[in-house]
Chain A
């Protein structure tokens, strides 16, 4: 009997741990979304500019002049990177959800045993 109880406790601990890491993943996902949107706005702004536009990049406390093509390339690269990160986090979220589901099923099974 105590064996099952112990199993139940360790499973519920695992369950809440899983849920915590899922929450962390979800907040990481929303942070990525914010960055993604911001970069997309910047890229849209670059579309309206041309080679002659003077562009500066804030590096620390100083504004450094930057080449238009270089700056645009940078932002495009960053968007690609963020897209990659988003899909990476999303697969992680899906995995974590599956994991939670299996843990939950195990937990329910053990609880049913406990109830008997």
Chain B
């Protein structure tokens, strides 16, 4: 961070506001992380589907029309898949190539997730520090008030 501020110099009100904004950031990053993990598990499902289809000897399969309605079908061509590469483009690929597309995507998501986790750890540390200082300030304030009531 370029502009380091001494947290001890902030007023309790500022600290509370600061904590609120960190909280918001943490929620935002946690949501992003969850979205990344959801995307990853979807990609993993694609790979398992390819593996299953390639490993299976039989050509019969059930095609879902809805989530609870299926019709029997047959695999016409093996080793030929249409892979979604994004923004509405689909490319015909072999099982191996299709899998490598998904694997590359998963790897990239892994890297992003790692970066996000690092940020989250950093933010949590900051949050703890703010909480600590805030608590100290509150205790100080209470002491001051007690002294005032004692003297008056």
A interface, CB within 8 angstroms of B:
35, 38-39, 41-42, 45-46, 49, 53-59, 63, 66, 71, 75, 78
Q: Are A42 and B87 in contact (CB under 8 A)?
A: yes
Q: In the complex, what distance in Å separates the CA atom of A46 from the CA atom of B85?
A: 9
Q: Are B87 and A38 in contact (CB under 8 A)?
A: yes
Q: Are B90 and A56 in contact (CB under 8 A)?
A: yes
Q: In the complex, what distance in Å separates the CA atom of A38 from the CA atom of B101?
A: 14
- B72 interface hit (Cβ, 8 Å): no
Chain B 114-147 interface 0/1 with A at a Cβ cutoff of 8 Å (1 = within): 0000000000000000000000000000000000
Closest chain-B Cβ to A38's Cβ sits at a distance in Å of 5
- B91 interface hit (Cβ, 8 Å): yes
B interface, CB within 8 angstroms of A:
82, 85-92, 101
Q: In the complex, what distance in Å separates the CA atom of A45 from the CA atom of B102?
A: 11
Closest chain-A Cβ to B122's Cβ sits at a distance in Å of 21
From A35, A41, A63, give the contact of B85 (CB < 8 A). Answer: A41
Q: Are A57 and B89 in contact (CB under 8 A)?
A: yes
A78 cross-chain contacts in B, Cβ below 8 A: 87
A54 cross-chain contacts in B, Cβ below 8 A: 91-92
With contacts A45-B91, A55-B89, A57-B88 known, what are 4 further pairs, Cβ within 8 A? A41-B85, A42-B86, A54-B91, A71-B89
